[in-house]
Amino acid sequence: GDISSPQKPPEGIPQCAGCNQHILDKFILKVLDRHWHSSCLKCADCQMQLADRCFSRAGSVYCKEDFFKRFGTKCTACQQGIPPTQVVRKAQDFVYHLHCFACIICSRQLATGDEFYLMEDGRLVCKEDYETAKQNGRSGGEAAPDHHHCQAAGNAEERLQKLPQARPARSGAALLRDGA
């Protein structure tokens, strides 16, 4: 047969893992033991071209932000990944985006110095709503909560049924500190 047949790839010229074309460029990138045109090495999630640095998992490559969104620490409230450079709030072993660190009843974002209660599943309740729910949840001094008297908006019955058993984040109501 003809040795210049187009089906036979040229000897020693690597093929790009991104576009499957031969790489004739001056510079070749090698990632995950595969060769890439510099323009073909892109984040699997956002398609941003990866020039300086990339992260990989299970054969896919990612930019730093998308890698940590997908595989990094997850926010307790929204379950989305938290990039390592983002400022977070912590309560015991739970980690939150700043905007997710909010009361589940009134949706107010908790700030430094605010007192709050931390429920066992990681949900947060501001002190005011906890106290209101505790008062409204008891009738005639009974220990069991009476959900029909809850005043909180929305899905109050479901949200408040665990509040009387909620444990404070530390001893008493927790004081929120920067970086804590």
Render pLDDT for 50-106 as a digit per residue (tens, 0 to 9).
978 889 899 899 998 888 888 888 999 999 888 778 889 988 889 999 999 999 999
Q: Are strands 94-97 and 34-36 parallel, antiparallel or unpaired?
A: unpaired
Using alpha carbons, select from 159, 168, 161, 79 the residue that is nearest to residue 120.
168
Query: Quick one: CATH architecture of 10-71?
Result: Ribbon (2.10)
Judge whether residue 107 has pLDDT over 80: yes
What fold characterizes domain 88-175? Cysteine Rich Protein (2.10.110)
Q: Assign 9 a pLDDT band (cuts: 50, 70, 90).
A: low
Question: Where are the CATH 2.10.110.10 domain residues in the chain?
Answer: 10-71, 88-175
Q: How confident is the model at residue 8 (pLDDT cuts 50, 70, 90)?
A: low
114-128 average pLDDT score: 90
